[in-house]
Amino acid sequence: MDIVDRLRHDGNLPDEEFIELLQSEEHDAKLFSTADEVRKSFYGKDVYLRGLIEFTNCCKNNCYYCGIRKDNLKAQRYRMDRSEILSSCNKGYELGFRTFVLQGGEDPFFTDEKICGIVSEIKRRYPDCAVTLSIGEKSRESYRSFFDAGASRYLLRHEAASGSLYKKLHPDEMDLENRKRCLFDLKDIGYQVGAGFMVGSPFQTMNDIVEDLRFLQSLRPDMIGIGPFISHHDTPFCNYENGNLSLTLRLISVLRLLFPHALIPATTALGTIHPQGRELGLKAGANVVMPNLSPKEVKGKYLLYDNKICINEDSSECRGLLQRKIAGAGYRIVTDIGDVKKH
């Protein structure tokens, strides 16, 4: 039994074999095809749409890699109001989206009361849809209030499970243990939880990546979002090399074999570093795409990294283009709420 078969059969490998699998091209063909086969056994050829609404690019944090970090004075800041958010949901619903992802920086302007009001109104208007939040670190009480208002999913990338690496990517006031606490609180409350990390970030080693895999094994998230590090010109990491497509694809496949039921997106960042990046991600085991439903006038302002794709098309153009690309890769977009399948 070779290394890929053992990973599929056992759902695990020793650290050194994970590193071997991730560093070498030798196993790529079998790794990708096996991950695709496992994905199809749970989800068929279905690809779930998540409608991304980036409703604020204001953020109190200063992550060294992020284009909307607090100290980037060149960022053009914006906040969408409640009516703009609801209008984006309406447009998305007409286009067949049944999950809305409200994503933004950690913006104190959007109090718990405001978030709960927006979530509950979305659920009132679209009871057959899921609301996902991706708004950072909050208290357990805040997470509970969002859940009670109708949010059922929460995305919070841990970014780096290694304490030493996390400190190199974030200022001192940000704490990895608090981030992990948030993820376990979310899971305990009852959310479908998404975690994840950057691939190829500055200072990252293969041992750091294995530590990420081990953390995910302890968390057992429903959703796992990974994407290549891409630099932003107005950050302290502006001169660092971008992450690697091949390593990102291998990790998608490894995650599919570790977590066969997981919802794993083929991210916009993948599509940014390679013209067929998202399609390659699907062929490596991903099963989610997240087109942008934000108004055209703000898409170009939510720039976590440089050269982000799909910021000049409106929502219908972006969805149509993506549907054609996905069909061309041998998969199909489904208008489905797209819950995780654990059995």
Let me know: does 47 contact 333? Beta carbons within 8 Å.
yes
Q: How far apart are CA 200 and CA 197, in angstroms?
A: 10
In the predicted structure, residue 85 carries a pLDDT above the cut 80: yes
Contacts for 19-26: CB closer than 8 Å, 24+ residues apart: 19/206, 19/207, 19/210, 21/250, 21/254, 22/206, 22/209, 22/247, 22/250, 22/251, 22/254, 23/206, 25/246
Domain residues for the domain of 117 are 26-334
Does pLDDT of 312 surpass 90?
no
Residue 143 lies in a domain: yes
Digit-coded pLDDT (tens) for 38-71: 999 999 999 999 999 999 999 999 999 999 999 9
- Whether the predicted pLDDT of 343 surpasses 70: no
28-45 residues labelled b (16+ CB within 10 A) or e (exposed): beebbebbbebbeebbeb
- Whether residue 21 is contained in a domain is answered as no
Domain count, the chain: 1
In a domain, residue 77? The reply is yes
CB contact at 8 A, 42 and 341: yes
Average pLDDT of every residue of the chain: 96
pLDDT of residue 53: 98
How far is Cα 271 from Cα 277, in angstroms, rounded to an integer? 4
Give residue-wise pLDDT tens across range 210-224: 999 999 999 999 999
Q: CATH code at 68?
A: 3.20.20.70
Q: Flag whether 3 is in a domain.
A: no
Q: How many CA atoms lie within 13 A of 3 on its CB side?
A: 20
CA 119 to chain centre: 20
Strands (E), 111-231: 130-134, 151-155, 192-199, 223-228
Q: What is the pTM for the complete model shown?
A: 0.97
Residues in the chain: 343
* Burial of residue 299, with CB atoms counted within 10 A of its CB: 0-12 exposed, 13-18 middle, 19 or more buried: buried
What is the rounded radius of gyration, in angstroms, for the C-alpha atoms of the chain? 19
